[in-house]
């Protein structure tokens, strides 16, 4: 055996090991020093999961309540459920910052928006009215709808208004109070199909397609035509006339076939139902639209609706008013209870809502799809958060059957989701409580 030490090799063998040990010690000391420095500076790394990813608070809340959500989580694709939970934190100056948590969110997965289209229609109608101020037109100016093409109807009066005059203000009030379809149709006709889509696309909602009126069986061609509109002052003088319009723009074609069948003229057709020419809005866009009107400075300027300060206040009050708080028309509380269009937090629960809770939102339900996007506020505890959700309550996949699981699946899901997030928000530590005075109103007038 060769004696390395005698041959002078021992020192050369020891030196590399010594260098490795020194490097490891320096690395550990540096790591400990960085941790100490960050701790002293108050900087904390976000909590992580086993995969070293930020914790999804929403996913954790759903998993922590299996009695409420396990069935839906295990069958998330069949129920086509999507959720966005937005935490709102304020700084010392009351400026909000937003953190989104999502569940099964997929903007390419179609859901029928139903009455959700009424929210952008209301906002765009106010924006368009702003351009007509030079003609003396306001929200309360009488708007007369003509009949200009097949399938259209003329509207000369509005019996539900205080003075029977149809106005944009009255239509918007009814849209948010009870989700009135006819009110939306009148705004769709005032705006025109092309204007609606151009404006939404310009604001960044490029996948939006608003293609038809609601609850009126018109063809694609008839929905491209919109009525002539006239505005009159209180003395009956014509202020402005908008001619009938036609939209010849061809939007990106869709192949959206859903379900196993549908009823047509009382007969079951055993082929998927075609939603390709139906309205389209994704949940991300709806949540962002709501945020853009409630917190306009928090979104890029191009996404904001061009509204006046008075318009903003009107929208906030209209969104949050309960049916019994609307003077014209007077809604029967047995048919239109407080939470009639407040799915999140209340589901289909009847009775009175507590005075400290206000929900600024819009809902939609049709063909088994149930959707709500909401800003929920508790003025007593200073809780505020945004929540958007959609779920498909049509287990058989048969459309136009009225065999939908709204009561057994949809409404309980919406109620439970709202309450679980609300309870979490009650316990969530916030450095600064929000000043919510911007969202307070006298609903008695």
Share of the chain above pLDDT 90, in %: 85
Chain segment 377-398, per-residue pLDDT in tens: 999 999 999 999 999 999 999 9
User: Looking at residue 328, what is its pLDDT?
Assistant: 87
> Which segments of 276-423 are extended strands (E)?
357-366, 369-378, 383-392, 398-399
Check: CB of residue 146 under 8 Å from CB of residue 229. Answer: yes
CB atoms within 10 A of CB 353: 17
Between CA 265 and CA 122 the distance in angstroms is 33
Q: Would you say residue 370 lies in a domain? A: yes
**Residue 15: its H or E element:** helix 10-40
Q: Which of 181, 88, 192, 108 is CA-nearest to residue 145?
A: 192
Chain segment 129-159, per-residue pLDDT in tens: 999 999 999 999 999 999 989 999 999 999 9
- Supply angle C-alpha 105, 107, 110, rounded to 5: 105
Lowest mean pLDDT among 28-42, 71-85, 372-386: 28-42
Longest dimension (CA), the chain: 119
Q: What is the band of 11 on the pLDDT scale with cuts at 50, 70, 90? A: very low
Backbone angles phi, psi at 383, to 5 degrees: -85, 140
**Residue 85: its H or E element:** strand 82-90
CB atoms within 10 A of CB 21: 10
The dihedral of CA 283, 284, 289, 295: what is its sign? Answer: positive
Which residue reads 């093409």 in tokens? 149
Contacts of residue 276, defined as CB under 8 A and 6 or more positions apart, other chains included, come to 253, 254, 255, 256, 257
Between CA 137 and CA 133 the distance in angstroms is 5
Does residue 37 register a pLDDT over 80? no
User: Looking at residue 213, what is its pLDDT?
Assistant: 98
Report DSSP state, residue 249. Answer: -
Q: Would you say residue 176 lies in a domain? A: yes
- What 3-state class would DSSP assign to 339? coil
Question: Roughly how many angstroms between the first and final C-alpha of the chain, as a whole number?
Answer: 105
Q: Would you say residue 435 lies in a domain? A: yes
Task: Give the domain CATH number at 249.
Answer: 3.40.710.10
Which residue reads 């004696």 in tokens? 3
Q: What is the band of 54 on the pLDDT scale with cuts at 50, 70, 90? A: low
Torsion of CA 287, 291, 297, 298, to 10 degrees: -50
Q: Which domain holds residue 61?
A: 57-439
Between CA 361 and CA 374 the distance in angstroms is 4
Q: Would you say residue 142 lies in a domain? A: yes
Check: CB of residue 114 under 8 Å from CB of residue 367. Answer: yes
Share of the chain above pLDDT 70, in %: 88
Q: Would you say residue 104 lies in a domain? A: yes
> Which segments of 163-237 are extended strands (E)?
225-226, 229-232
Mean pLDDT of 46-54: 44
User: Looking at residue 18, what is its pLDDT?
Assistant: 43
Contacts of residue 31, defined as CB under 8 A and 6 or more positions apart, other chains included, come to none
Report DSSP state, residue 51. Answer: T
Q: Would you say residue 51 lies in a domain? A: no
Q: Would you say residue 379 lies in a domain? A: yes
Check: CB of residue 203 under 8 Å from CB of residue 286. Answer: no
Q: How many domains does the chain have?
A: 1
Between CA 438 and CA 435 the distance in angstroms is 8
Chain segment 388-441, per-residue pLDDT in tens: 999 999 999 999 998 999 999 999 999 999 999 999 999 999 999 999 999 999
Q: Would you say residue 114 lies in a domain? A: yes
Q: What is the band of 53 on the pLDDT scale with cuts at 50, 70, 90? A: very low
Does residue 25 register a pLDDT over 90? no
The answer to whether the bond into 329 is cis (omega within 30° of 0) is yes
Chain segment 304-356, per-residue pLDDT in tens: 999 999 999 999 999 999 999 998 899 999 999 999 999 999 999 999 999 99
Contacts of residue 317, defined as CB under 8 A and 6 or more positions apart, other chains included, come to 441, 443
């Amino acid at each position: 055996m060769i004696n390395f030490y005698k041959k002078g090799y021992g020192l050369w063998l020891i030196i590399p090991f010594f260098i490795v040990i020194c490097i490891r010690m320096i690395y550990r000391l540096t790591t400990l020093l960085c941790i100490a420095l960050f701790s002293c500076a108050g900087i904390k790394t976000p909590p992580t999961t086993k995969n070293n990813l930020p914790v999804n608070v929403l996913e954790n809340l759903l998993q922590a309540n299996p009695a409420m959500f396990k069935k839906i989580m295990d069958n998330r694709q069949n129920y086509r459920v999507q959720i966005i939970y937005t935490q709102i934190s304020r700084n010392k100056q009351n400026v909000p910052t937003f953190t989104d948590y999502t569940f099964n969110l997929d903007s390419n997965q179609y859901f029928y928006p139903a009455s959700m289209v009424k929210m952008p229609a209301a906002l765009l109608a106010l924006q368009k009215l702003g351009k007509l101020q030079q003609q003396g037109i306001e929200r309360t100016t009488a708007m007369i709808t003509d009949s200009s093409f097949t399938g259209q109807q003329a509207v000369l009066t509005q019996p539900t208004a205080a003075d029977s005059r149809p106005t944009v203000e009255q239509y918007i009030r009814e849209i948010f109070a009870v989700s009135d379809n006819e009110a939306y149709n009148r705004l769709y006709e005032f705006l025109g199909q092309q204007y609606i889509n151009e404006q939404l696309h310009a604001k960044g909602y490029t996948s939006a397609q608003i293609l038809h009126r609601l609850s009126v069986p018109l063809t694609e061609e008839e929905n491209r035509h919109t009525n002539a509109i006239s505005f009159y002052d209180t003395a009956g003088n014509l202020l402005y006339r908008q001619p009938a319009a036609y939209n010849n723009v061809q939007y990106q074609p869709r192949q959206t076939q859903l379900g196993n069948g549908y009823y047509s003229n009382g007969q079951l057709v055993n082929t998927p139902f075609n939603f390709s020419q139906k309205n389209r809005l994704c949940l991300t866009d709806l949540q962002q639209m709501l945020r853009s009107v409630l917190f306009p400075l928090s979104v890029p300027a191009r996404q904001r609706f061009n509204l006046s300060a008075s318009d903003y206040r009107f929208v906030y009050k209209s969104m949050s008013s309960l049916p019994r708080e609307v003077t014209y028309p007077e809604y029967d509380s047995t048919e239109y209870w407080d939470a009639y269009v407040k799915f999140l937090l209340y589901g289909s629960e009847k009775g009175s809502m507590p005075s400290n809770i206000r929900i600024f939102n819009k809902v939609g339900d049709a063909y088994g799809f149930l959707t709500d996007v909401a800003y929920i506020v508790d003025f007593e505890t200073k809780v505020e958060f945004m929540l958007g959700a959609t779920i498909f309550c049509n287990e058989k996949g048969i459309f136009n059957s009225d065999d939908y699981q709204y009561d057994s699946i949809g409404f309980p899901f919406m109620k439970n989701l709202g309450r679980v997030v609300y309870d979490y928000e009650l316990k969530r530590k916030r450095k600064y409580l929000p000043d919510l005075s911007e969202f307070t109103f006298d609903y008695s007038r």
